[in-house]
Amino acid sequence: MTELPKQEADGAELGNQVEGYLLWQATISVAEQRAREFTGRMDWLTTAQREEIEQLYVSDSLRRARQDLERVAARCRSLRSEYEERYRVLRLRCVGYTLGAAAGLTSAAAAALALSR
């Protein structure tokens, strides 16, 4: 039975990898399309010049997209650690309050028992 959660985690990781791959392929397609549209307005370019400009445009677009993704990923990691810390503090506070309430109730019950004797 311990294999099932591991398999689910592996499946989720594979799903994330496939999704990332498909999103990156879509980014490449968009960059290539935009490069063709950009050079399409420049009818004076030779074929070699057009191809070189398109290649430079695509590589620049992909570099910028990668930088954007890295910034977003860094922010996600930052937020995750921030929320994990807040959750840890909240959990400790809840445990503290629960233990305090239990101690208070135990003391009250012990005092009531002592008074009833």
> What would the pLDDT profile of 14-66 be if each residue is shown by its tens digit?
888 999 999 999 999 999 999 999 999 999 999 999 999 999 999 999 999 99
Distance between CA atoms of residues 41 and 38, nearest Å:
6
What are the distances in angstroms from CA 8 to CA 4, 16, 18, 108? 6, 12, 15, 48
Whether residue 81 has pLDDT greater than 90: yes
Whether residue 5 has pLDDT greater than 80: no
Percent of the chain with pLDDT over 70: 92
Q: What is the mean pLDDT of the chain?
A: 92
- Phi and psi dihedrals of 96, rounded to 5? -60, -45
CB 58 within 8 A of CB 33: no
> What is the pTM for the complete model shown?
0.65
State whether residue 2 is helix, strand or coil: coil
